[in-house]
Amino acid sequence: MKISNPADGTVITEVTADNATAVRRKFELARAGQAKWAKVPLKKRLAAIAAFRERIVAMQETLARTLTHEVGKPIRQSRNEIKGLLGRIDFFLAESSAMLRDEKVFADAGQKLEERIAHEPLGVIANISAWNYPYFVGGNVFVPALLAGNAVLYKPSEFATLTGIHIAELLHEAGIPRDVFVPVIGDGATGAALLRQPVDGVFFTGSLATGEKIAAAAGKRMIKVQLELGGKDPIYVCEDVDVASAAAAVADGAFYNTGQSCCSVERIYVHESIHDAFVKAFVDEVRGFKLGDPMDESTYIGAITRRPQLEVLKKQVADAKRKGARLLLGGASVKRKGNWFEPTVFADVDHSMAVMRDESFGPIIGIQAVADDEAAVDLMNDTEYGLTAGVYTKDERRAKRILSQVNAGTVYWNCCDRVSPRLPWSGVKHSGIGLTLSTYGIQTFTRPKAWHLKAG
- Which chain residues interact with ligand NAD by CB under 6 A? 128-133, 137, 155, 157-158, 187-188, 191-192, 195, 205-207, 210, 213-214, 228-231, 262, 359, 361, 387, 425, 427, 432
Least distance (Å) between residue 189 CB and ligand NAD = 7
Residue nearest to ligand NAD (CB): 191
Q: Which is nearer to ligand NAD, 72 or 177 (CB)?
A: 72
Q: How far is the CB of 17 from ligand NAD (least distance, A)?
A: 10
Catalytic hit among 70, 95, 158, 228: 228
Min separation Cβ 406 and ligand NAD, Å: 17
- 228 catalytically annotated: yes
CB of 129 to ligand NAD, least distance (A): 5
Work out the angle between the directed axes of helices 20-37 and 188-195 (0-180°, nearest 10). 50
Catalytic, out of 238, 262, 263, 416: 262
The vertex-452 CA angle with 449 and 454, nearest 5°, equals 155
416 catalytically annotated: no
When the beta carbons of 177 and 441 are compared against ligand NAD, the nearer one is 441
Adjacent-strand bridge partners of 451: 116
- Residues 6 or more apart in contact with residue 371 via CB below 8 angstroms: 271, 272
In terms of CB distance, is 277 or 433 closer to ligand NAD? 433
CB of 60 to ligand NAD, least distance (A): 21
Q: In a 10 Å sphere around its CB, with 0-12 CB exposed, 13-18 middle and 19+ buried, how is residue 310 labelled? A: middle
Query: In this complex, which beta carbon is closest to ligand NAD, that of residue 148 or of residue 408?
Result: 408
Nearer to ligand NAD, 164 or 343 (CB): 164
Question: Catalytic residue numbers?
Answer: 228, 262
